[in-house]
Structure 1
């Protein structure tokens, strides 16, 4: 398993055992966590990851990641693919930070790294959404390079799509 490293963050790819421990509420085994971590969203993401790994169609799940600051290793949130890419190469993402880490650009930085990883690994489209009132999440997706593609009475839908894969 390879972690994704950005200027200020390490996106640590959860193993199945780490995801199981997160769901069970077990300590992180020497990893420093922000006091608010894990959030309900982080636990839900770990459950989704585990379900996909055990009940999936056999397609490889691209991962669920803890967001850790590089300077102190503290876990401040998570970013994840909701499951393997579908038959068209599309996948949905989710992310979240603990309240004390918000407003510093960490979520946009993490999401941009996840988008680059997706493209490098043959995913052709990444989708995300946010309620109309969740302006912060809308800004995160825009800052990471996603664009608004639709909206309904409650939700705005964003995506990034590539028509060609990067040169290797």
Structure 2
């Protein structure tokens, strides 16, 4: 069965990033992202893809861009020109929408779950996660993590499922 999951880390004000970079460094969140997305297709916008030093290992990257001439020489990377084209490449499998802000907005209506790391703080950002409508999304799991020597901010993993 096809299962589309949006995965993101966002501040309490839904901030995602600034200047195509993350606003925090949360090693445990990186590990969780890797564990959840490894072995799956990940859907992202071109700017998100270009923010990586190289493609993430053990994942097929589906890159959405309006640029009809955009190409990449990396293996396991597919370029498409709309969220619908990206989703047409997903069959009976899990796939993750990993950003950025515009791709989350476009992908939300097609998503079944949201894996959100809610970073407890307000941040200066230029990219935001869409507002989560509690009439559409139900929290099914929460796991709080206090700040520590490796994590400058408290954060909570929140799993949402689309209401029937």
**TM-score, structure 1 length as denominator?**
0.33
Of the two structures, which has the highest relative contact order with CA contacts closer than 8 Å and spacing of 6 or more?
2
The answer to which structure has the higher helix fraction is 1
Q: TM-score, normalised by structure 2?
A: 0.33
Q: Which is strand-richer, 1 or 2? A: 2
